[in-house]
Amino acid sequence: MEQYSERLDVIFQALADPTRRAVLARLGGGPASISDLARPFDMALPSFMKHIHFLEGSGLIRTHKQGRVRTCAIEKAQFAVVETWLSAQRALWEGRADRLEKFVTEREEE
Amino acid sequence: MEQYSERLDVIFQALADPTRRAVLARLGGGPASISDLARPFDMALPSFMKHIHFLEGSGLIRTHKQGRVRTCAIEKAQFAVVETWLSAQRALWEGRADRLEKFVTEREEE
DNA sequence: GTGATACTTAGCCTTATGGAACAGTATTCA
DNA sequence: TGAATACTGTTCCATAAGGCTAAGTATCAC
């Protein structure tokens, strides 16, 4: 429960880069290979790969290699972590403090 | 409309730090001064101030100084930017592409 | 089995981030 | 007025982020 905060760190960090958000948008339409994903970007492949690794590390995507092709797909469930945080935040504004929100925000404040 | 992406950069970046999220959680309960906000953290004040400046720069909080005290308050409207992005992302999964989402994601992909 | 394809690994470079210390300014209180 | 309070400004430091090139490995297509 203490690593909830660290998960948020890495998820928000992952979302803080335009290249990575564009990849997520693209994957929203369905899985794609690294090369396909990289094509629109004016960036060396190793640099692009760092973004993929970061996204995978954050849990926002998962990848799987078959032969020489690595296919990436979005991991929808991880987006719920963000939504939960937003809900908890909103609950604070609204003065609500039911069980779940209390739980989440307490962890959040360490 | 091109700076929509840059706004997301800075907002997500702001959310990617536990100290800053804790400040937002605290401010969710109501405005507070810098000293009040800083007290729970084992951190030098100038270091803490950087977080406040970052949050203010991201638009997630606003501040206002009266006398020697600077009071901080949450800027709820800015959270909607995140929610809009999440909705757009979800819309992509769901294959929907109505006007608003199309607008947002096109900007998002640059 | 050779050549092209699709990543991977390794190193390097520059800038940004998150922390620190120390000194300074501006208010408020006694 | 003089001390305490509440920041603020400046500079420094270590590490992480985001980019690059060059070279390496593993498949696949012929």
The pLDDT tens digits for A47-86 are 999 999 999 999 999 999 999 999 999 999 999 999 999 9
Contact B93 A21 (CB under 8 A): no
pLDDT grade for A94, boundaries at 50, 70 and 90: confident
What distances in angstroms separate CA B16 from CA A14, A66, A71, one per listed residue? 9, 33, 27
Which residues have a Cβ under 8 Å from the Cβ of A32 and sit 6 or more positions away?
A: A26, A71, A72
Nucleotide at minimal C1' distance from the A67 CA? D27
Name the residue of chain A whose CA is nearest to B10's CA: A16
Range of lowest pLDDT (A8-22, A28-42, B81-95): B81-95
- Express as a percent the part of chain B with pLDDT over 70: 85
Nearest alpha carbon to residue A93 among B28, B100, B5: B28
Question: Please, what's the b/e burial string for A1-38 (b: 16 or more CB within 10 A of its CB; e: otherwise)?
Answer: eeeebeebbebbbbbbbebbbbbbbbbbeebbbbeebb
- A contact test, residue of B26, B75, B76, B109 with most A CBs within 10 A: B109
- pLDDT of A110: 35
Mean pLDDT of B37-50: 97
Q: Please tell me the pTM assigned to this model.
A: 0.87
The answer to whether the Cβ–Cβ distance between B79 and A90 falls below 8 Å is: yes
Residues 64-103 (A) near nucleic chain D, CB < 7 A:
66-68
Backbone angles phi, psi at A53, to 5 degrees: -60, -40
Angle B76-A83-B28 (CA atoms, 0-180°, nearest 5)? 35
Q: Looking at beta carbons, which residues of chain A come within 8 Å of B74?
A: 93
All residues of chain B having their beta carbon less than 8 Å from the beta carbon of residue A22 are 108-110
Distance in angstroms (rounded) separating the CA atoms of residues A65 and A13: 25
Task: Count, in order, helices (H) and strands (E) of chain B.
Answer: 6, 3
CB of A43 lies under 7 Å from some atom of strand D: yes
- Contacts with A103 (C-beta within 8 Å, 6 or more apart), sequence order: none
Q: Which nucleotide is nearest to B53 (CA to C1')?
A: D8
**Any chain B CB within 8 A of the CB of A75?**
no
pLDDT at B110 over 50: no
Tell me the C-alpha distance between B23 and B46, whole Å. Answer: 15
Asked if the Cβ–Cβ distance from A89 to B8 is below 8 Å, we say no
Q: Do the Cβ atoms of B105 and A25 come within 8 Å?
A: yes
d(Cα A95, Cα B25) in Å, to the nearest integer? 12
